[in-house]
Each structure stands twice: as structure tokens, then as C-alpha cells.
Amino acid sequence: MSQPSPAQPGPESLLALAFPSDPQVSPNGKRAVFVLSRIEEEDPQKPDPEFARPRYRSHLYLSDGGAARQLTRGEGRDTSPRWSPDGATLAFVREEHGEKGQLFLLPLTGGEARRVTRFKGGVQDVQWSPDGRFLSFLSTGDDEDKRDERGEARVITRPRYRFNGRDWLPERPARLWRYEVATEELHEWLVPEVEVAAYAWWPDSRGVLLVSSSTEEDAAQWRQEADTLLLSGERTRVSCWNSAINSVIPHTDGERFALVGRPEGKGSPEDAHLFLVEPGGSWRRLDEGWDRPIGNLVGGDCHVGAFPERPVWLDGETLLVSSTVGGSCGLFRVGLDGTVTAQDHDPEAVVPAFTARGGSTALIRERADRFPEVELNGTRVTNLHSRLPFPARGPEHVTFSNELGEGEGWVLLPDGGERAPALLTIHGGPHTAYGHAFVHEFQLLAARGYGVCYGNPRGSVGYGQAWSSDIHGRWGTVDMADLMAFFDACLAAHPELDSTRSGVMGGSYGGYMTNWITGHTDRFQAAITDRSICNLLSFGGTSDIGMRFWDDELGLNFHRRADALKLWDMSPLKDVENVRTPTLIVHSVLDHRCPVEQAEQWYAALQLHGVPVRFVRFPGEDHELSRSGRPDRRIKRLEEYLGWLDRWLLGTETGEQRVAEMSA
């Protein structure tokens, strides 16, 4: 394979980066612990000279307000650090020697980490009781599923049986366990019939508030409720919600609680908001006057690990939340009186994760031209941006107009005075956003000579409910109009971009739009469709969210005769005979969100119509390949991107050679 010159970094630049995640502020607010994931050879003692095996290795880091120092040195992945209420001990999960993650306790006064569990299954969602007496977590215990290894039949009777990132769901849901620290006794606390989606301890440690569905059918339709589970095992329903719940936050009074979610009857186009639930189950929206979603929905590709953003009660009257505003995300205070005020919001930055206690905050902050960094009480305690092996570019702001008002986007421009190929890239969701997050892929493309145009058409979040909902039932119409208007605005604002050498690309919904656009215009000379959708009918029966998703997004569903032709009319596959654009298809075999059969159909159809097409399938990966997939596979994906774009937009010998060598 041809190698880029020193001035042209390659996909292997990913290997230099270290990814922060899961910042946790200490009980006294003076320290923070977080996870840092580096990419290292899988076995440094036995490197394979023929085949490098770069893998993530994660350790815990601690900061007292200054530069962070490494706290653990395990041989695998140390994650999920959680402070004991007295700040003397860290609970964390360690995954090594081929075992799934197990619970460990690390005394911060000195000494080795002590192992608590020895399950065959992993440990997840570790939490301390507020009085420090217990640790709780979810685990399938010693359950094992070896049917595939044994070649046994898998009998399926539940509506949900696979899920992206998890593959086959266990026959028995994970149980909630309770470990008494002083006596070292472990108890199986709850054996649920339907899996626990989230939980949080009540402030008085009498038990937990947990989120689940009443039946598997409810779970498949995203209908959830909140229950109180006492230490005695008594379980009581405390909500009348009947809809999806993202998180629950018990009030300091031990009676009420806040939740983030959407009320009954509101589907995925509805922004998530903050609600207060009273004893008895009645509720009211707290952020009634705030027309922005709660949580971070700005996409980036340097998020490896957990990114906590559950709201926090600062006192009995105020919650601290994150919220997406345009292409940014910051921290806001929401009062019981409904007022929303900014506490830490930079309109040109993104806070993808935070925790807060006693007036102190640990968070991660990133910008389009600044790699994610960890901060403690406003002081940066990492210098991870310095690991970037090439200079980061700042974006140029571009606006476009439609009947709802003004939309926005950005362009990353390459160096040099010559005209550059222009790429229109489309985000997924559709209800997410591009913006001020750091995107290694975009920076790499710009460094290699491409102008990268990324914007927020209707359907994107952060611009108000009307903007987000306007594509309901209208995929492939106003959203395409917005994307074309945005791309035209980029070309007009930057004459150095060459409209005769342009590409369109995107993943998930962005892959759907890439397929749709190439079936309705020949203006692009290359296309890359990643984890895409082409057939809305088959998607409904194969996606892990297919039972509900089209009802929410389009008001249609694949199992209703009256809707079938409408879904087919909105499927890119219907218009595939119009496609002339050379297309690279990238998909992961374990993607259950947008199943690989979608890519297979698109590939077969393009082959039948004589369109130049290349199909790259990744084993062992799911919908998150581009953001947190195995490093060597992420690098291969970027190599394929560059090879395809170089071939069709640069027409260079280098591009042709790269594609040929990758095919060999």
C-alpha cells in the first residue's frame, strides 16, 4: 500500500490518541478519577511480525486538581470507577485474561486492589449506597450461553432477542446484586422478569429506584415505569409513565424523583426533557420553557468508554443537566420553578460527560479543533490534544435557509491554494447533530486535501422541537432539500471547493440519505454509505428497534398492508436503477441497529445495474465501529474511505494503487 507523505497523515494516526471517559468527582469535590484508554499491541511480549493487533487498554487516572497520574496498571481494561461515600475507596471493573469484567475495590490509602466477584458473566452499573454500606451492580452471574459454540438450535419466543452492542440477549435478564462491604456478603437482590434498564439509590439508602418494563412486549415498544425496590426485596410501582425513561434522579427528600424521557405518545422525534414525579405518580415537566433536548446529542468519534450525563440535584430546588444547543452542549441549572440558566455553556464546545457533587464538577470538554480533555472544577487536568500527530483545523461556519428559518453547518478546509474536492457528510439519528465535537475522521480527511462539509438539516436536534420534528413522515424530502441547500452554501462561500469533484457520505440515517441522494441526483462523483438503510420494509423486521421505529419516525409500520407501499416509496432501493454514483459500502456483521442485510441488498442491486461498487464487511463489530470499534478495524475503515475518495475524486495513481492493493 502506498504510504502518505509526512505532510499527509494516514489512518494510523488513530494509534497515537488516548481517549478519556467516565469522569467521576470525589465526595469532597477536590479530586477526580477517570478512565483513559490507549491503543497498544494486544500482547507486547509476543508481537506478531506479520499482523499487528492493536487493542484498547484502559486504566484509571486520578487528579487532585493538577496533572492527572495513573492509578491502576492492569493488563486489560479497568473501567467504571466509583467513589465510596467517604472517599477512601474506589470500586471499579477489571477485564483481563479473557474474563468478563469483575468488581474490584481499591483502597486509596495504599494497597492492592481486592477482587470481589468471580462470575462467568460480567459486572455492570456499579453503584455505592449513600451510607457506604453496600455496593450494587447488575450481572447475569454464572449464566453461560454456549449454544452457538455447540451448534445448538436457538429457540426464540420473545419480541426482543438481539440488541446492538450485545448481540444475543440472555435468556434470563441480568440480576441486581448487593454486596455488603463490611461483611463481604454477596446477595442476589432482584431477579427481574424483564431487564432493569437503569437504577439509582434513594438518599436514605433504604433501597433503589429502578427503571424497567412490565412485559417483554412493553420493552419492545419502549414502555417503561419506575419502581422502588427496598432492601427487604419489596418492590412498589411509583410512576404512571408508560414511555421510555432515560434516567431517574431521586430527590433529596426521598419521596419525589426527576426523570429524563418522553411522555406517553411522544416518539423519537420528540426531544427528551426533564420531569418531576410526585408520590403517587403524577408528574410535570420542569424545563417547560426550554426548547432544547436534555443530554448531549452532538456526535464525535473519540468517545471510547462511558460518558455519564445523568442530571444531579445540586440542592432541593435545583438540578444540574447537560443540554444540546445548536452544535454545542453545556451544563445548565433547572429549578423547580421552571427556570433554566446556563452554568457552563460555551457555544463553541461540547461537554459529552459530567458528574457533580457539592458544588464541584468533573467533566470532559472538546471542541472541533481540540481533542477531548478532562476538567476538574474548571481546571484542565489532561493534555491529550498534544498526542494528535497532525495539526487540528478549526471549522468555517456556513448558514442556509428554509421555510422554518436559518440552518447551520461547518466546513473544514484543507491547506494549499488549489481547488479541493468537496465532501458532504450526513449525520445519523436522524435526531442527533453535528457541531463542535472533535471528529478525527473529518480532521484526517481535511489533512489529506478534502473540504469536509457537515451540517444540521431539519431533523437535527438543538434547534427547537419544530426543527427536529419537521421530517416526521417526510424522510427524503425536506431533509434532502436542506442538505443540498447547505452544500450549495458551502460551495458559494468557499470557491476553493471544487463542485466537479464532490462526494456524499454518511452513516446510519446518514447512510440512508446517501443512498437516497444518489438515487435522485447525479451531482456527486463518489459516495460512501456506512451502516446504511436501503429497504424500510425489511428493516422493520430485522432491526433491534424495528418494531417501533417507523411508527415513531414516519407514522407507518412494515406489518400493516396499508403502509407497505408507502414504506417502499420511501426506500432508496425503489430508485436504485437511477444510481450512477460509484459507491463504497461499509457495514458491520453484528450491527443489529441497521442490519447487514441492508448493505447486502444495496450491493446486489448496484452490481445488477453496473454501478462501480465495493462492499467492505467487518466481523465482530456493531453499529459503533466508527466511534469505538476495535482499533485495527477503525484504521481499515479509514483506509477504505481514503482509497475510494482518492480513486474517484482525485483520479490519482495513488488512489488507484491503494484500491488495488486493498483488493489483493
- Residue type for position 480: M
Question: DSSP H helical segments within 408-464, as ranges?
Answer: 440-447
C-alpha closest to that of 434 among 298, 322, 295: 298
Instruction: Compute mean pLDDT per 10 residues along the chain, 664 residues long, and list them.
Output: 60 96 98 96 70 89 97 93 98 94 96 95 97 98 93 94 93 97 98 97 98 96 97 97 97 97 93 97 97 98 97 97 98 97 98 95 98 98 97 98 97 92 98 98 98 98 98 98 98 97 98 98 98 98 96 96 97 98 98 98 98 98 95 97 98 54 48
Site of grid cell 441488498: 601
**For residues 67 and 53, what is the distance between their CA atoms, to the nearest angstrom?**
30
**For residues 38 and 56, what is the distance between their CA atoms, to the nearest angstrom?**
6
**For residues 175 and 606, what is the distance between their CA atoms, to the nearest angstrom?**
47
**Under 8 Å between Cβ of 223 and 242:** yes
What is the model's pLDDT at position 655?
A: 47
Catalytic position from the list 26, 436, 623, 626:
623
Enter the C-alpha cell of residue 449: 486535501
What is the model's pLDDT at position 2?
A: 37
**Under 8 Å between Cβ of 141 and 122:** no
**For residues 126 and 208, what is the distance between their CA atoms, to the nearest angstrom?**
13
What is the model's pLDDT at position 651?
A: 83
> Half-sphere exposure (CA, 13 Å, Cβ side) for 432?
20
Instruction: Determine how β-strand 451-455 pairs with β-strand 420-426.
Output: parallel
> Is 623 a residue of the active site?
yes
Enter the C-alpha cell of residue 508: 446510519
Interior/surface letters 626-651, b for 16+ CB within 10 angstroms, e for the rest:
bbbbbbbbbbbbbbbbbbbbbbbbbe
**Under 8 Å between Cβ of 478 and 402:** yes
Spell out the residues 6+ positions from residue 210 whose beta carbon is closer than 8 angstroms to its own. 176, 190, 196, 198, 199, 200, 226, 227, 228, 229, 248
CA angle 197, 312, 251 (to 5 degrees): 80
- Residue type for position 266: K
Site of grid cell 441526483: 521
Spell out the residues 6+ positions from residue 352 whose beta carbon is closer than 8 angstroms to its own. 296, 298, 300, 303, 307, 309, 329, 364, 366, 372, 437
**For residues 431 and 268, what is the distance between their CA atoms, to the nearest angstrom?**
8
Spell out the residues 6+ positions from residue 631 whose beta carbon is closer than 8 angstroms to its own. 14, 15, 39, 54, 55, 56
Backbone CA torsion sign across 631, 94, 18, 423: positive
Instruction: Determine how β-strand 283-285 pairs with β-strand 312-315.
Output: unpaired
**For residues 457 and 461, what is the distance between their CA atoms, to the nearest angstrom?**
9
**Number of alpha helices (DSSP H) and beta strands (DSSP E) in the chain:** 13, 38
**Under 8 Å between Cβ of 209 and 226:** yes
> Is 187 a residue of the active site?
no
Give the DSSP letter string of 608-633.
HTT--EEEEEETT--TTHHHHS-HHH
**For residues 661 and 664, what is the distance between their CA atoms, to the nearest angstrom?**
5
24: part of which helix (H) or strand (E)?
A: strand 18-25
**Under 8 Å between Cβ of 221 and 244:** no
C-alpha closest to that of 113 among 132, 94, 130, 100: 94
**For residues 635 and 629, what is the distance between their CA atoms, to the nearest angstrom?**
10
What is the model's pLDDT at position 125?
A: 98
Catalytic position from the list 37, 508, 538, 628:
508
